[in-house]
Amino acid sequence: MPAHQLSLWPCGDAHAVFRLPGNGAYAAMSALCRLLQRGLLSGRPLCRLFPGQQDVCGVAPAVRSASSSSPVNLTYDVFDGKGESTPLVFLHGLFGSKSNFHSIAKSLVQRTGRKVLTVDARNHGNSPHNPVLTYEAMANDLKHLLAQLHIDKCILIGHSMGGKTAMTTALTQPALVERLVVVDISPAQSSTRTNFRYYIQAMQEMTISTDIPRSTARRMAEDQLRSLVKEHSVRQFLLTNLVEQNGHYAWRVNLEAISAHLDDIMSFPNFDTGYEGPTLFLGGASSAYISSDDYPEIQRLFPNADIQYIPDASHWIHADKPLDFISSIISFLQS
């Protein structure tokens, strides 16, 4: 994991904070949190393979666009456990990818024996691009993927934007979700007063020479982002999405769709009925993304929810405190 420094607001409800066993192995991520209210970015993707891990990757369709009215074929990685228990499915945040949870997935396979899937959302990673980017559409994509893989029931674990997709899936397709873990986000409506549109604008306006080394392309891209993206850590995070295709450099994320649906991403759909299954809202004690103001809506939609906080963790709990994050999931599975 990258070592960044995150600046976050203190958690307002110290009485709700509890201490999990173990200790974190990674430094906190950078100042993204104060820039993006309500936490919609995922941690920076990991780019490494794990020796000895039986790893099966879903292959992205050759065509990266799809009809807006139908689900897209999501790319995914499978970490194949030997046990027969319900599989775990991880959903990343905005501008993230399925690689974000690879190290977590490997550990959970080893400790639980369960199969673990990590999934690229539409318009992210290697999944197809589509002009629609709503939580209803992303939940429908996930339902389609699970049907393709003959998975009748799963345990959904979603971080930030992925947490909202997981909640939407549980609320619309409760039979698919045996248990739900929502990582540092809530079903509350989110503010859109961020600098995020400036970041998207800077990425859209970027031009990079062709047939140059990747390191040179990254430097050129960072220089062009600097005028609208002041923080070095934010630029480095965005640059994880810069890819080379036949000598040309482009963003692998669908900036047009993200820009057009930013209000949808920052918000959350309205639901009249709740999800009755066991649910864990897991927040960082140094993060304000799950606050006491959100508790009534959490209780209304998820009446069997437990709200817990990991001390000294920011919005990127899995990066800051991976051992505590894993322990909290395992405890929840055993409860």
Cβ atoms of 326 and 193 within 8 Å: the answer is no
What is the Rg, in whole angstroms, of the alpha carbon atoms belonging to the chain?
19
Catalytic residue selected from 160, 190, 286, 328: 160
Cα gap 74→134, rounded to integer Å = 15
Mean local confidence (pLDDT), 34-56? 37
315 is catalytic: yes
Backbone angles phi, psi at 133, to 5 degrees: -140, 75
Domain residue spans of the chain: 14-192+272-334, 196-257
pLDDT value at 44 more than 90: no
Average pLDDT value for the chain = 81
Mean local confidence (pLDDT), 124-134? 96
Mean local confidence (pLDDT), 115-119? 98
pLDDT digits (tens, 9 = 90+) for 199-217: 899 999 999 989 899 899 9
**Tell me, what DSSP letter sits at residue 267?**
S
pLDDT digits (tens, 9 = 90+) for 167-198: 999 999 999 999 999 999 999 876 544 577 88
256 is catalytic: yes
Return left, alpha or beta for 150; rule: phi > 0 is left, psi -120 to 50 is alpha, else beta: left
- Position 15 scores a pLDDT of 29
Tell how strand 242-245 and strand 154-159 pair up: unpaired
Question: How far, in Å, are 65, 72, 96, 127 from residue 61 at the CA level?
Answer: 9, 9, 19, 8
pLDDT digits (tens, 9 = 90+) for 294-329: 999 999 999 999 999 999 998 889 988 999 999 999
Q: How far is CA 194 from the centre of its chain?
A: 19
User: DSSP letter string over 27-54?
Assistant: ----THHHHSTT--BPPPPP----TT--
The pTM for the full model equals 0.79
The percent of residues in the chain predicted with pLDDT above 70, rounded, is 78
84 is catalytic: no
- Position 203 scores a pLDDT of 92
Catalytic residue selected from 4, 102, 315, 318: 315
Catalytic residue selected from 144, 256, 291, 297: 256
pLDDT digits (tens, 9 = 90+) for 242-292: 999 888 999 999 999 999 999 899 899 999 999 999 999 999 999 888 999
Q: Which residue has 């995020």 as its token pair?
A: 196
The number of helices, as runs of H, and strands, as runs of E, in the chain is 12, 10
CATH of span 14-192+272-334: 3.40.50.1820
